[in-house]
């Protein structure tokens, strides 16, 4: 799925995150970071060429509805991994004008 691949971009910057207790509540900081990741997903869908066909020619309200549907399909695991990413990387991606710029924000894998 093209849209799942785009969502993967947002988590490609993260390291492996251990299993979480499903009953655990998020701290306010984690909740805030997850909200930032959802905004990042929205931004990526808006700038993605694959999403443009769903958005072009629609009103702002219709575009937002389409974006909301796409963001809702992003797996929670992807959002959690994004929330574990460095804030500077998320900020870089949020400011990216296109998908190539989003990819440029992803740091190289750590050695060792």
Q: How far is CA 83 from the centre of its chain?
A: 9
- pLDDT digits over 61-109, tens only? 999 999 999 999 999 999 999 999 999 999 999 999 999 999 999 998 8
Q: Is the pLDDT of residue 41 over 90?
A: yes
Sequence spans of domains, the chain: 28-112
User: What tokens does 27 get?
Assistant: 């701290």
Q: What is the pTM of this model?
A: 0.73
How distant is the alpha carbon of residue 40 from its chain centre? 4
Q: In this model, does residue 27 exceed pLDDT 70? A: yes
Quickly state the pLDDT bin for 2 (edges 50, 70, 90). Answer: low
In angstroms, the Cα distances linking 61 to 56, 64, 65, 81, 105 are 12, 5, 6, 29, 30
């Amino acid at each position: 799925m093209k849209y799942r691949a785009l969502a993967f971009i947002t988590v490609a910057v993260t390291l492996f995150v251990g299993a979480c207790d499903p009953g655990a509540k998020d701290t306010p900081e984690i909740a805030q970071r997850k909200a930032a990741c959802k905004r990042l997903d929205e931004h990526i869908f808006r700038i993605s060429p694959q999403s443009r066909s769903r958005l072009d020619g629609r009103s702002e309200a219709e575009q937002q509805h389409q974006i909301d549907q796409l963001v809702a399909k992003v797996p929670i695991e992807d959002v959690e991994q994004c929330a574990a990413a460095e804030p500077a990387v998320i900020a870089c991606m949020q400011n990216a004008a296109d998908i190539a710029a989003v990819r440029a924000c992803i740091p190289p894998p750590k050695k060792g």
